[in-house]
Structure 1
Amino acid sequence: MACLHRRLRLLLVGIVFCGVLLLRVDAAGAASEAGALLAAKAALSDPAGALSRWRARSSGWFCRWPHVSCAWNSISTAAVAGLDLSGLSLGGGFPVALCTLRSLRDLNLSSNEFVGPLPACLASLPALARLDLSSNSFSGEVPVAYGGGFPSLAVLNLAQNFISGAFPGFLANITALQELLLAYNSFSPSPLPDNLGDLSALRVLFLASCSLNGHIPASIGKLKNLVNLDLSTNKLSGEIPTSIGNLSSLVQLELYTNQLSGRIPAGFGGLEKLRFMDMSSNHLSGEIPEDVFTAPSLESVHLFVNNLTGRLPATLVKAPNLVELMIFTNQIEGPFPPEFGKNCPLVVLDSSDNRMSGPIPATLCASGKLEQLMLLDNKFEDAIPAELGKCRSLARVRLQNNRLSGPVPPEFWALPGVYLLELGGNALSGNVDAAIGGASNLSRLVLSENRFTGVLPTELGNLTNMKFFLASNNSFYGTMPPSLTNLSELLRLDLSNNSLSGEIPHNMGQLEKLELLDLSNNHLNGSIPAELLGLTGLGALDLSYNELSGELHVLRQNTALNDLNLSYNKLTGTVPFFFNIIQYQNSFLGNPGLCYGLCSSHGNSSSNRHARMLMFASIIAVSAVVMLMSVFWFTYNYRSYKRRAAEVESENSSWVITAFHKVEFSERDIVNSLTEDNVIGEGGAGKVYKAVVSPKGGTLAVKKLWPNGTESKRIDTFESEVATLSRIRHKNIVKLFCCLTNDVSRLLVYEFMPNGSLGDLLHSAKAAILDWPMRYKIAVNAAEGLCYLHHDCVPAIIHRDVKSNNILLDDDFSAKVADFGVARPIRDRPAAMSVIAGSCGYIAPEYAYTLYVTEKSDVYSFGVVILELVTGMSPMAPEIAGKDLVEWACTNVEQSGPESVLDQKLAAQFQDEMCKVLNIALLCVKKFPNHRPSMRCVVKMLLEIKGEYKPKACKVAEAPPS
């Protein structure tokens, strides 16, 4: 018995010893895992404190730390198996301590601000199955180690970084891969690897915008498990390989915006799971294969902007799940197959800009789901089907420039969801039915160039969302309905070339947003309403070829008209003197009763007396103005003399020169140039002089800060500019040579930019100098300068006053960002400012509301600059009164397409490239900062636009209404 007890004691001691040993092993392992996590945290920038609960004193509980998941090995030791740090605003380089987590299976660092090279050490982790580093700022090449490592890797996501070098074809060696996502990186032009088909387990291949060129390898047809294939926005050429028809698991095929040519191969009908197919914006030709629409699951087909010919295949009516068909801008002929739409839930149809003919199928909305019907610029004929009048889902209808005829069905006028109805350029007839009053959502109504007749219905006044009503070149008669003045959102009203009679409604002044009014070539009579001419936003008014009478003294209330035509009426009296300029020389023709200056007698003494009184009043007013200006000139010059005398006295005191570059001039060279004859500019911070110093020193620009104002503000502006520019070296940022200071003055000496500012040049009579290639170059230059400030300076610098007047042009029209008086370094994001800096029309919404500023505030301002380059308009141009340039551009692009905002003074051959730059601008001016791209992305997108200028019209895919 004693022996038994002794054995039991020995066994118990052994068990306890082993337990203690295991606990020590477990504790050591836990400490190692926790230590790796804490080391990684220490290496990161964590401005939001997302990892604040990772603490050393709780390292034994690291499995409970946020964003960490654990697994247990064979000896019950906890180990980090998953790490999800996505979207936490983390920054810095990749924390290499994570490479010691040998049990790590899932690592997600996406949507952060990591920089530097990709970590090669991850390739050796034996358990790593999922690696997601997307949406960061990693740069450099993909490590070669990736091609020979990752024994278990199934998902590799490196999309949306700044990875460069040749496309990493060696990744095709990771045979376990199921998802490979490398899209939106900066690879150099490279072909796809021929052995791509060796990735037999691959389900997702996302290589959009990777600078790929060459052909799509035929081996791609071996990827039988592939669900999503996206090779869009590259430079792939040649024909689409027929082997794609072997991808039996394919659901989504994206090949748009490449240089693919030849015919679309047959075989897609056998892809039973294919739902989305996009081959748009290529050079594809020939007919659409018969079997494309026999794929049973097909929902969306995008083939627009190609060279496709022939007729649509009859199999189109057999596509049971087709929701979206977009084939605009091709050369497709003939009619739609009979009963198209009867057997599918069609929502979007766009066959615009083709050569199609025949009737519009009455079955298009058989499912009751059709929202967008775009058939413009074809040869469709016959009447609009009555069945479409029952399509309550319709929101966007564009049927202009066809051969449609007959009356519009009454129910079609009253569709409650339609906000865009364009019927212009046809042969439609009949009346505008009173039922149109039920189309409560209508924003744009285009009836121009048809054969409509009858009286315009009073019910038009119910359409309070209407912004554009264009009904010129028809046969409408009767009076203008007074209810039109209820359309408070109306921007453009064109009823020209009709047979309207009676007076212009006298309460037109209620249309406060009206920008254009064209009532020419009618039979209108009576006087011009004074309220109408009091509209401050009215930029274009054409009332010519009517029977209007009365005098023009009402024109005194409006001098904002850029385009005025009152010719060929029965107007009398004197033309106001401020309209007696060349701009309006053809505005008053064909009015025998009108005269300039003092009218001669025609038996109407009272009229002559009135004219003489007006003339004398005008002379007195002009004389008073001249006298006031003389007094002002004398006062200004006297004060300038006194100020100059004081400045000369101060300049005699000793100057301190601080140089930031090698200079070959003295302070006396600079000071002697500060005369009024050398002034080249003046702004809110000071006056700028041109200084020609010596043959070696060349020409310089000298900014002298204003001496008045608070001392703290003046010094702050000076010190900000010096602190910023003294340490910056970049070809697209203006060079600060030195600064000069004494007791009362501060001078900044810059390189001289002979072509002045972009704003002054673009919005002046010299704008014609700036053709589109030059404007594109300026956009790229300025973007690269801002990109340097945001991404390459430590800490990052925010300009805070990006505008076209602060972008200067050298003798080669290369652009440089200037004026850093309100710039600020950003260490903690976002940074709070005590006051708003910036210029009207350029300030980001969130900055104006919250006084918090980030790099995305500069991005917004730069987006406005790009809009200026594309549209040729200034941010607060009189043509867009009541709006800023951003609102005007967004509204017009949505309602009339991108070509409606392009600068018409530029050659049409550049429209395609201008549209691409316009899209970048619209991204930059998104309302919410996190929806805007970084400046690095802006530079990348601009550089991706190459110099292949296609003469095609500016077309974009129609988007569903928001």
Structure 2
Amino acid sequence: MSSLLLLLFSFLSVASSTRSSELEILLTLANTLHSSALPNPFSTWDPSSHHCDFNGVSCNPSSSVTQIDLSGLSLSGTLNFTSLCSLPSLETLALGFNSLSGSIPADLDRCSKLQYLDLGNNGFSGSFPDIPSLGELRYLYVNKSGLTGGFPWSSLLNMKKLVVLSVGDNGFDESLFPEEVLEFMDLNWLYLSNCRIQGMIPPGIGKLSKLINLELSMNNITGEIPKEIGNLVNLWQLELYKNGLTGKFPTGMRNLTKLENFDASLNYLEGDLSELKYLTNLVSLQLYMNDFSGEIPAEFGSFQKLVNLSLYTNRLTGPLPEMLGSWAEFDFVDVSENFLTGTIPAYMCKRGKMTKLLVLQNKLSGEIPVTYSNCTTLTRFRVSNNSLSGVVPPGIWGLPNVNIIDLETNQLEGGVTSDIQNAKSLDQLFIANNKFSGELPVEISKAKSLVAIDVSNNGFSGMLPQSIGELKQLSSLHLENNIFSGSIPESLGSCDSVSDVNMANNSLSGEMPPSLGSLPVLNSLNLSNNRLSGPIPSALSSLSLSLLDLSNNRLSGQIPVSLSIQAYNGSFSGNPRLCSYTISSFQRCSSQPGMSKDAHKLIVCFVLLAMLLCICIGLYVCLNKRERNRERSLKENSWDMKSFRALSFTLDEILDSIKPENLIGSGGSGNVYRVVLDNGKELAVKHIRNAADCDGLKKTQSTTPILGTRGKRSREFDSEIETLSSIRHVNVVKLYCSITSDNSSLLVYEYMPNGSLWDKLHSSRKMELDWETRYEVAVEVAKGLEYLHHGCERPVLHRDVKSSNILLDEHFKPRIADFGLAKILQDSSGKDSTHIIAGTHGYIAPEYGYTNKVTEKGDVYSYGVILMELVTGKRAIEAEFGESKDIVSWVLSMLETREKILSLVDSRIPEAYKEDAVKVLRVAILCTATLPNLRPTMRCVVQMLEDVVPCKLLRIVIEKEGDGKTEAGN
């Protein structure tokens, strides 16, 4: 009896010791990890409580931990797998969708009883360890977890019970399709997307007959889809998009009758779609940007689950199935950029859920079905570049959720109805190149979200709505080539966001409203070929216009002297009653009545001399005041120096070097000085000017103050500099310190002896940059921008990416400069930075013309322009591109034949490298897509450039006849 009691006591002691040990392991885990979630997920992890009652913890009947599920709880920190694997009964460890970091050590292999392991969607680093002891594992999720290096595929061979293998979205080393995967006969979920797999899909894939999900997207997989894919009869989802697949759909794909989601977009697939007509359970079918031809199977019209169909940019012909989308709650159709004929199916919104109707650039005919008048869920209605006719159903104009109505280049008639007042979400109205007539309804001013209006090349008549000034977000207004009459509305001057106005070739009369001169961002104004009379408002002199055309009107009086410049040559022709003192092709302005010519000349000379004297006196006083202020600041030691790195220089060394002989550059954010320290080291110092500084007398548009008029540093400046100082990347210029006072601010950077990329490519001192150097610059700059966008705690937007902001060190290694300064200059000027578009003409993304939203995709566009400069050797803006054209539009216009594409490559690049240059140009085209959503992230750009694999040349711009508004799935 005593021995039995002793045995029982020993058992209870061991059990108690085990529970105590497991409690200690869990409490250690809780102390190691941190959570930003509310309530705190560890609030129930009380040492006085039983550990099996902890949130996310489950135990077996013996109170031993079997499951830890802390997924999606905003956890951060590193894991101690040695401790966790000491839990003797642990079968489930779920930590996905957190922000865990550090490496995954080989100790993970000690968790030999694990059946379920989820470490996906975290921020680990390093490679994934060998785990041959995890033979019981059935579910392995390490997707999107920050892993790199080679993946230990062979160590998985012991996991014969594996059901789910999800390792995609990691930066693994390039490898062929892992044949080891083909040994997992119980596998039903295989996720290998975006993990740098190359080569072909092996025929052995057909052995995995239990698969319900197969995802291989965003890799470098080439060759044909193997016919053995037809053996996977249980597939529910098949994702193959963005690879290099070729050939036709194999015979046997018709067997995949359980398939609901199929995406093979962005490949080189060809042939017809007939093999898919048997897949009656399809819910989503996306095959855009391939080379498919033939007709869309009529059977698609009877697919009763189909809600998404995206086939744009192929060579499909024939009609769309009449009953397409009429069975389920159809979401969107995009069959743009094909050769489709027939009519638009009438019943795709039958269930009232459709959001996007995109059929632009085909050969469709007939009328727009009236059924879409009641489709209130539509957000995008794009039918441009077809042969549609008839009257637009009135309800189309007033769809309450529609963002864009694009009817351009058809044969549509009638007019815009008053229903447009109900289009509260409408921001883009494109109806140019049709047969519309009548007046623009005054109710158009009630569509207050409008950003862009283009009704050009129609038969509109009557007066323009006088209330057009109510469209406060309007950026682009194109009314040219109509029959509008009456005066230009004075209220147009209230559209503070408008940058582009074209009313040419109408019958407008009356005087030009002076309010046009108050439009703060107006960049292009074309009022030519009208009947405007009276003087040119002097207020126009305050604008900075890239295009001004007032030709062929009835204007009279003097051409303002500030507009009498070479840039506006031809802008005033065809106005015989205009005169000028400076333009020889116009009659000279007569003197005032009663005044002799000599007296008039004398007065003019006297005024000019007086003005010159005032300017000289002002400059003299200002320069002396500035020098006195500078000396006084130095003597009073009023500088505040904040260092961000170890410094080898003193404040006095910097201040003593800010003098004219050390000036090496001047730009939008101030002067730049070269400083040589006593130890021989070189620095670059940027002097950012104060608003109260007398430099303001120069009236240069590039000078923007960072300090208030009272000389106080802005909080925005300090905050932004703090962010910039934290940036550490080999391809970003080092910021050593900031030096500020009440009157100035200095930023001290590392010095780049080889100047800017712009200088090396385009200046009179340009040198021959070989292709290897250009390619290296392209990759390294992309890595720098990738770091700014993805590697910082929060994204840092550059806002002014251009070749002159890419500096080169002594080895021609690039550094990105002036990142964030555009935002500093805006914020500190006291204006809302979201309403001021920073950047340089030729590099600015097109969406900035109609939206104030600044995103990373703007930097991507600007980077694409730099790639085009590197490949072509051309500047962003060249006269040879044509009026109002930049390098992007020039490149796109040349993508007609292979010969023209090769001719784009800089002649200084040897023939042997031209194919590589074209590959980089393809990346540039992707980066400069018109729509931001179509541009890749900088992380993707780096991968495309490093892979040196031919990227798919966008047929969106090769064969199209449209105008750059192609939707491409959005």
TM over 0.5: yes
Residue in 2 aligned with 1:31?
20
Distance 2:596 2:426 in 1: 47
Question: Is residue 2:184 matched to residue 1:199?
Answer: yes
Residue in 2 aligned with 1:240?
225
Inter-CA distance 25–647: structure 2 relative to 1 (3 Å threshold): closer
Distance 1:302 1:636 in 2: 66
Q: Give the secondary structure class of the aligned counterpart of 1:162.
A: coil
Aligned match for 2:248, one of 259, 263, 268 = 263
Inter-CA distance 134–364: structure 2 relative to 1 (3 Å threshold): closer
Backbone CA RMSD of aligned residues: 5.6
Q: Give the secondary structure class of the aligned counterpart of 1:37.
A: helix
Inter-CA distance 167–723: structure 2 relative to 1 (3 Å threshold): closer
Superposed displacement of residue 649, structure 1: 9.8
Residue in 2 aligned with 1:732?
731
Distance 2:401 2:644 in 1: 67
Distance 2:589 2:532 in 1: 22
Residue in 2 aligned with 1:541?
525
- 8 Å contact kept, 1:597–1:615: no
* Larger displacement relative to structure 2 (912-921 or 320-329): 912-921
Aligned match for 2:362, one of 378, 382, 388 = 378
5 Å matches for 1:606-617?
none
Aligned match for 1:179, one of 164, 173, 176 = 164
Q: Give the secondary structure class of the aligned counterpart of 1:310.
A: strand
5 Å matches for 1:859-938?
872-873=843-844, 883=852, 885-886=854-855, 904=888, 907-908=891-892, 913-914=923-924, 917=927
Residue in 2 aligned with 1:330?
314
Distance 2:446 2:686 in 1: 58
Residue in 2 aligned with 1:489?
473
Per-residue Cα deviation, 1:645-664 (whole angstroms, up to 9, x for no partner): 8899999xxxxx99979x9x
Distance 1:393 1:215 in 2: 42
Distance 2:820 2:506 in 1: 57
Residue in 1 aligned with 2:434?
450
Aligned match for 1:519, one of 489, 498, 503 = 503
- Specify the code of the residue in structure 1 equivalent to 2:617: V
Distance 2:244 2:165 in 1: 23
- 8 Å contact kept, 1:276–1:300: yes
Inter-CA distance 183–54: structure 2 relative to 1 (3 Å threshold): same
Superposed displacement of residue 494, structure 1: 1.3
Distance 2:597 2:328 in 1: 72
- 8 Å contact kept, 1:786–1:817: no
Superposed displacement of residue 767, structure 1: 13
Residue in 2 aligned with 1:582?
566
Question: Is residue 2:621 matched to residue 1:635?
Answer: yes
- 8 Å contact kept, 2:81–2:107: no
Distance 1:138 1:920 in 2: 35
Residue in 1 aligned with 2:815?
816
Question: Is residue 2:50 matched to residue 1:61?
Answer: yes
- Specify the code of the residue in structure 2 equivalent to 1:507: S
- 8 Å contact kept, 1:733–1:785: no
Aligned match for 2:340, one of 353, 356, 370 = 356
Residue in 2 aligned with 1:471?
455
Superposed displacement of residue 258, structure 1: 0.4
Aligned match for 1:952, one of 932, 950, 955 = 955
Superposed displacement of residue 100, structure 1: 0.8
Superposed displacement of residue 563, structure 1: 2.0
Distance 1:474 1:766 in 2: 50
Per-residue Cα deviation, 1:362-389 (whole angstroms, up to 9, x for no partner): 3444444433211111111233334444
Distance 2:270 2:388 in 1: 29
- Specify the code of the residue in structure 2 equivalent to 1:119: P
- Specify the code of the residue in structure 1 equivalent to 2:92: D
Distance 1:901 1:605 in 2: 41
Q: Give the secondary structure class of the aligned counterpart of 2:171.
A: coil
Residue in 2 aligned with 1:569?
553
Residue in 1 aligned with 2:913?
none
Residue in 1 aligned with 2:267?
282
Q: Give the secondary structure class of the aligned counterpart of 1:90.
A: strand
5 Å matches for 1:37-52?
37-41=26-30
Residue in 2 aligned with 1:503?
487
- 8 Å contact kept, 2:432–2:454: yes
- 8 Å contact kept, 1:176–1:199: yes
TM-score with structure 1 setting the length:
0.76
Per-residue Cα deviation, 1:422-454 (whole angstroms, up to 9, x for no partner): 111112233344554454543322221112233
- Specify the code of the residue in structure 1 equivalent to 2:782: V
Distance 1:224 1:69 in 2: 34
Per-residue Cα deviation, 1:471-505 (whole angstroms, up to 9, x for no partner): 11112223223354443433222111112222223
Question: Is residue 2:751 matched to residue 1:752?
Answer: yes
- 8 Å contact kept, 1:598–1:611: no
5 Å matches for 1:392-407?
392-407=376-391
- 8 Å contact kept, 1:342–1:366: yes
Aligned match for 2:109, one of 119, 123, 127 = 123
Q: Give the secondary structure class of the aligned counterpart of 1:156.
A: strand
Question: Is residue 2:205 matched to residue 1:220?
Answer: yes
Distance 1:458 1:728 in 2: 52
- 8 Å contact kept, 2:138–2:162: yes
Superposed displacement of residue 300, structure 1: 0.8
Inter-CA distance 271–797: structure 2 relative to 1 (3 Å threshold): closer
Distance 2:315 2:425 in 1: 34
Superposed displacement of residue 788, structure 1: 11
* Larger displacement relative to structure 2 (472-481 or 450-459): 450-459
Residue in 1 aligned with 2:784?
782
Distance 1:625 1:604 in 2: 23
Distance 2:651 2:488 in 1: 68
Inter-CA distance 27–885: structure 2 relative to 1 (3 Å threshold): closer
Distance 1:141 1:603 in 2: 79
Aligned match for 1:99, one of 75, 85, 97 = 85
- Specify the code of the residue in structure 1 equivalent to 2:844: M
Superposed displacement of residue 165, structure 1: 2.6
Distance 1:947 1:870 in 2: 30
Per-residue Cα deviation, 1:13-67 (whole angstroms, up to 9, x for no partner): 6775454333212211112212333444555567889576588953x72223333
Q: Give the secondary structure class of the aligned counterpart of 1:137.
A: coil
Superposed displacement of residue 874, structure 1: 9.4
Flag the structure with larger Rg: 1
5 Å matches for 1:646-795?
675-680=659-664, 689-691=673-675, 700-701=683-684, 731-734=730-733, 751-754=750-753, 776-777=778-779, 779-783=781-785
Q: Give the secondary structure class of the aligned counterpart of 2:315.
A: coil
Distance 2:180 2:170 in 1: 21
- 8 Å contact kept, 1:803–1:839: no
- 8 Å contact kept, 1:573–1:611: no
* Larger displacement relative to structure 2 (451-460 or 46-55): 46-55
* Larger displacement relative to structure 2 (376-385 or 34-43): 34-43
Gaps of 5+ in 2: 638-642, 694-706, 863-867, 869-883, 896-919, 958-963
- 8 Å contact kept, 1:920–1:938: no
Inter-CA distance 368–500: structure 2 relative to 1 (3 Å threshold): same
- 8 Å contact kept, 1:702–1:747: yes
- 8 Å contact kept, 1:757–1:809: yes
Aligned match for 1:301, one of 285, 303, 322 = 285
Identity of aligned residues (%): 31
- 8 Å contact kept, 2:926–2:954: no
Superposed displacement of residue 241, structure 1: 1.6
Residue in 1 aligned with 2:94?
108
- 8 Å contact kept, 1:85–1:110: yes
Q: Give the secondary structure class of the aligned counterpart of 1:100.
A: coil
Per-residue Cα deviation, 1:674-710 (whole angstroms, up to 9, x for no partner): 642112368999975325689x958654679999999
- 8 Å contact kept, 1:43–1:92: yes
Question: Is residue 2:560 matched to residue 1:550?
Answer: no
What is the count of residue pairs matched by the alignment?
877
